[in-house]
């Protein structure tokens, strides 16, 4: 039975682990001889990585809006004529840290595990013990959510152990479900031009996980949302 690494494979999971270490490590400071400097590094590294990850997602979403606007200008269609508004950086901006946040965290964890007082129970509390499990991709089934953000549907999903997700959409236009996109990181904004002003439609979405560039598992349940021009 294989044992997974405690270190998540995706940046969202890494950010969660760093946040958890920053929050949980202090309670073991005395037992495991963790210095105040090490605790401070966990905290500033977690804050910096979470901030960088958040800003990156905002900038990628901004780039998608520009792509949609460029396509609208080029090809025509329905949609706003205004330029996409640039995102603003959240305040306060945390201090910059030296590169190598994950190697630093990994070295810190490796050192903790050599301490005479370290136990598996402590490791589980710190999320630094990999789980033993059997991986069966045939049982994977995405759970989708959908909500409106900035006038466009956003399909909410989690990645788990999959390589990515394949999303299909039915816009109630007589074409049934058609391919929308393959994404490797949650979540997914549908930037397709909305219905004409004064009209509305129910858009439906379904998805299936992908692993090694192939569909795996089962299709999700269908989720829908009302969109209007």
The tens place of each residue's pLDDT in the chain, 229 residues long, gives 455 689 988 898 899 999 999 999 999 999 999 999 999 999 999 999 999 998 998 898 888 888 888 888 888 877 667 788 888 888 899 999 999 999 999 999 999 999 999 999 999 999 999 865 567 899 899 999 999 987 889 999 988 889 999 999 999 989 999 999 999 988 899 988 888 888 889 999 999 999 988 999 999 999 999 998 6
132 by DSSP, 3-state: which?
strand
227 by DSSP, 3-state: which?
strand
Q: Where are the beta strands (DSSP E) in the chain?
A: 145-149, 152-156, 164-170, 178-183, 188-189, 200-211, 214-216, 223-228
pLDDT of residue 51: 93
d(CA 117, CA 96): 33
Which residue matches tokens 């901030």?
Answer: 51
Residues 6 or more apart whose CB falls under 8 angstroms from that of 24 comprise: 125, 126, 127
pLDDT of residue 84: 83
pLDDT of residue 134: 61
pLDDT of residue 94: 94
Contact 153, 203 (CB under 8 A): yes
Max CA pair span of the chain: 69
pLDDT of residue 97: 96
Task: Flag whether the pTM goes above 0.85.
Answer: no
d(CA 107, CA 103): 6
pLDDT of residue 42: 97
The number of C-alpha atoms within 13 Å of 103 and in the hemisphere containing its C-beta is 3
pLDDT of residue 79: 65
Tokens of 139: 């049982």
pLDDT of residue 1: 46
């Amino acid at each position: 039975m294989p044992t997974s690494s405690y270190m998540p494979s995706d940046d969202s999971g890494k950010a969660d682990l760093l946040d958890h270490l920053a929050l949980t490590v202090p309670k073991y400071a005395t037992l495991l001889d963790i210095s105040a400097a090490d605790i401070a590094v966990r905290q500033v590294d977690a804050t910096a990585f979470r901030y960088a990850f958040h800003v990156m997602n905002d900038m990628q979403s901004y780039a998608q809006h520009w792509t949609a606007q460029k396509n609208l200008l080029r090809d025509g269609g329905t949609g706003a004529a205004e330029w996409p508004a640039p995102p603003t950086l959240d305040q306060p901006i945390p201090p910059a840290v030296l590169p190598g946040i994950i190697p630093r965290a990994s070295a810190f964890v490796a050192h903790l595990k050599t301490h005479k007082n370290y136990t598996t129970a402590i490791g589980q509390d710190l999320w630094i013990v990999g789980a033993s499990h059997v991986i069966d991709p045939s049982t994977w089934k995405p759970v989708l959510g959908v909500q409106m953000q900035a006038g466009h549907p956003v399909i909410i999903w989690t990645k788990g152990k999959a390589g990515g997700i394949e999303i299909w959409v039915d816009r109630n236009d007589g074409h049934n479900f058609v391919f929308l996109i393959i994404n490797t990181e949650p979540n997914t904004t549908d930037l397709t031009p909305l219905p004409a002003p004064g009209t509305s439609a129910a858009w439906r979405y379904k998805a299936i996980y992908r692993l090694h560039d192939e569909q795996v598992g089962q299709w999700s349940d269908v989720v829908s949302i009302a969109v209007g021009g």
